[in-house]
């Protein structure tokens, strides 16, 4: 359980759903999730799945998926999506205005313009309709009821996502950036001091 002085401060009306963000509470010290921002891809009765948006690795997309590298958003890193199945790749993209990802082969709509990409498809075919793309190694997963329990406990704040959060270039400051735009009381957490004993994990 985290020490959450702000109680259940999730933004009114925000709920866990595909396309929402999970922002780690300051007291969540699990090294896999400390000060992370997770984008939910699936949220069902059977469980939930998402990817961490602010953990770039030293591996580039060109190193592992060279055909997709020209479409990758900066920085061109493969991001560490979470502790589950770290050898697997999940790819998210945003389509350009006027295109519906639900109607396109090779894409599985998540929310709004954001979709999951089938990496077995030809990137040349999808390139004209994509305006951002990011590859993640592994993912964050929760069994049935597990995520709801963590949210009730205060481990996570559920807030709306903006499509560009998925492809941000400010990954090192994304945690604070997302909190600041929520308004009080969540915005106050953006300046929550780091615990010196855990700075090396940030």
* Region 66-94 average pLDDT: 96
**Residue 1 above 70 pLDDT?**
no
Length of the chain: 202
Task: Count CB neighbours of 201 within 10 A.
Answer: 13
94 pLDDT above the threshold of 50: yes
Residue 12 in this model has a pLDDT that exceeds 80: no
Cβ atoms of 140 and 51 within 8 Å: the answer is yes
∠82-110-130 over CA atoms, to 5°? 95
Q: Taking residues 146-152, report their average pLDDT.
A: 95
Is the link from the previous residue into 75 a cis peptide, with omega within 30 of 0?
A: yes
Nearest Cα to 78, choosing from 93, 94, 62?
62
The rounded percent of the chain whose pLDDT value lies above 70 is 89
Pairing state between β 130-143 and 77-80: parallel
Predicted TM-score (pTM) of this structure: 0.88
pLDDT tens for each residue of 176-199? 999 999 988 888 888 877 654 444
Query: Per-residue DSSP letters for 28-61?
Result: ---TTTTT-EEEEEEEETTEEEEEESS-EEEEEH
Helices marked H in 7-131 — which ranges? 61-64, 123-126
How crowded is the C-beta side of 73, counted as CA atoms within 13 Å? 24
Whether 8 shows a pLDDT value over 90: the answer reads no
Q: What is the largest CA-CA distance in the chain?
A: 50
List pLDDT tens digits, range 37-46.
999 999 999 9
**Res. 2: pLDDT tops 50:** no
Specify the pLDDT at position 17: 95
pLDDT for position 195? 58
DSSP single-letter state for residue 105:
T
* Peptide bond preceding 185 in cis form (omega within 30 of 0): yes
Residues 6 and 186: beta-carbon distance below 8 Å: yes
What pLDDT is recorded for position 200? 40
Q: What is the pLDDT of residue 64?
A: 96
**Mean pLDDT throughout 116-132?**
95
- Give the mean pLDDT of 65-94: 96
Rounded Cα distance, 144 and 59, in Å = 32
């Amino acid at each position: 359980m985290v020490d959450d002085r702000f109680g259940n401060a999730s933004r009114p009306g925000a709920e866990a759903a595909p396309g929402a963000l999970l922002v780690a509470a300051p007291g969540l010290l699990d090294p896999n999730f400390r000060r992370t921002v997770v984008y939910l891809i699936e949220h069902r009765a059977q469980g939930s799945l998402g990817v961490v948006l602010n953990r770039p690795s030293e591996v580039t997309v060109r190193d592992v998926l060279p055909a997709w590298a020209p479409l990758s958003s900066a920085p061109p890193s493969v991001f560490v999506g979470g502790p589950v199945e770290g050898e697997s790749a999940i790819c998210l993209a945003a389509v350009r205005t006027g295109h519906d990802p639900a109607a396109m082969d090779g894409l599985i709509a998540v929310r709004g313009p954001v979709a999951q990409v089938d990496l077995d498809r030809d990137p040349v075919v999808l390139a004209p309709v994509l305006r951002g793309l990011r590859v993640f190694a592994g993912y964050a997963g929760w069994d049935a009821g597990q995520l709801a329990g963590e949210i009730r406990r205060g481990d996570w704040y559920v807030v709306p996502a903006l499509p560009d959060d998925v492809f941000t270039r400010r990954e090192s400051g994304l945690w604070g950036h997302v909190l600041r735009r929520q308004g009080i009381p969540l915005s106050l957490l953006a300046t929550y001091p780091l615990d010196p004993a855990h700075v090396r994990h940030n």
